[in-house]
Amino acid sequence: MRDKALEKFLRYVKINTQSQDESDTFPSTSIQFDLAKLLVEELKELGLTDAAVDEHCYVMATLPANCDTETPTIGLIAHVDTSPEVSGENVKPQTFENYQGGDIVINKAENIVISEAENPGLKKCIGQTIITSDGTTLLGADDKAGVAAIMTVIETLQENPDIKHGPIRIAFTPDEEIGQGVAHFDVKKFNADFAYTIDGGVAGELNMETFSANAASITVKGRNIHPGTAKDIMVNAIRVISAILAKLPADMSPETTEGYEPFIHPMNLEGSVAKASVKMILRDFKTPGLDTQKEILEKIVSEVQEQYPKATITLEITETYRNMRDELEKNPHVTERLWAAAEKTGLTPYWEPIRGGTDGSRLTALGLPTPNVFAGGSNFHSKTEWLSLEGLEKSVQTILNLVTVK
């Protein structure tokens, strides 16, 4: 299984599937179809005759049950896109066998280093094979490791009919990295009793809770005029937006928080004298905490508006996703099954809150209980992203344990 998973992963990461935040299409980039169509072909070659990709770039397929036992229909889900934050074009993966600890220099010329101190997961990977990019792009383990794991599971089951399993539904989604992964996902069509996203971190890490999330956008309209005659006339939107950013609480940023601590994070800043805007993400594991963050931003806007009365400042907040824990706790058999599957693999599993989100957040809210399974990687959305090959193999084994009839 290890060789199969490695071959698939190395092949998939070389296909650029980067999504795009500002796109007005769905999927946000047409290049995501390149991998989606390839996966359909491979699924059909494996005998999944209903494999297809729709106009929204959702791939769905069914592996029928090969047992007489009445079993639930289990969904396996991963996303094909990679983060828009770092290029996913022309990925050149490289492997470091028998890792023995310490920093990993992946690009000496550019001084791109995976720091052991910043990557505690590496301490669990002594003796393992670590896969990285060449330091000029991200790797794409998020989430092509999940895609490779699912495809390896399907191939393994088809080649070993003695492994009995119930019906399995497979889905590969686009645009997860920009929060739109299930915007057009048809839960009824997918027709699974429950599902698992394969979109997590190092081996053994399981996820049943995410942040609750909102997005915030602040726009400032100023007034431009020649700076030589600007006294008492110019309203510099750049100065106004800077004043807003300066008032954000320093102890509520990604750089200063961990675990269950919430944050407000400016993600994108654009500006000129006449108009400036900032886009932020708001995160808290407790959904009511998002109301507190809204109040913080409203107070800041009010204070800055008083400081710059001639500026026009608008704040817009929209819902993104909600913590899936509440709904998953109503379906304990789904998480208990995952825990048992990981233990059977020989791991010591643990529940880790995701300081982010997955397709599973919104799918769970839509009525499809969907916790998250590790895929073996870490340092996502960066040039120092890495994947443990043995972690990927453990992911495959865990999924097989999930779907196997006991």
Residues with active-site annotation? 81, 176
User: Alpha helices of 265-388 — where are they, by DSSP H?
Assistant: 288-307, 325-328, 332-344, 359-365
Q: Please identify which residue in the block is written with the tokens 């890490």.
A: 205
- Burial of 238 from C-beta contacts in 10 A (0-12 / 13-18 / 19+): middle
Which one-letter DSSP state was computed for residue 260?
A: T
Q: What does the alpha-carbon distance between residue 96 and residue 7 come to, in Å, rounded to a whole number?
A: 16
Q: Return the structure tokens found at 71.
A: 């079993």
Closest CA to 341 of 400, 401, 394: 401
Give Cα 366 distance to the centre of its chain.
18
Number of H helices, E strands in the chain: 10, 18
Q: What does the alpha-carbon distance between residue 290 and residue 213 come to, in Å, rounded to a whole number?
A: 7
Q: Return the structure tokens found at 308.
A: 């710059």
Q: How many beta carbons lie within 10 A of that of residue 401, not counting itself? A: 17
Q: What does the alpha-carbon distance between residue 140 and residue 137 come to, in Å, rounded to a whole number?
A: 9
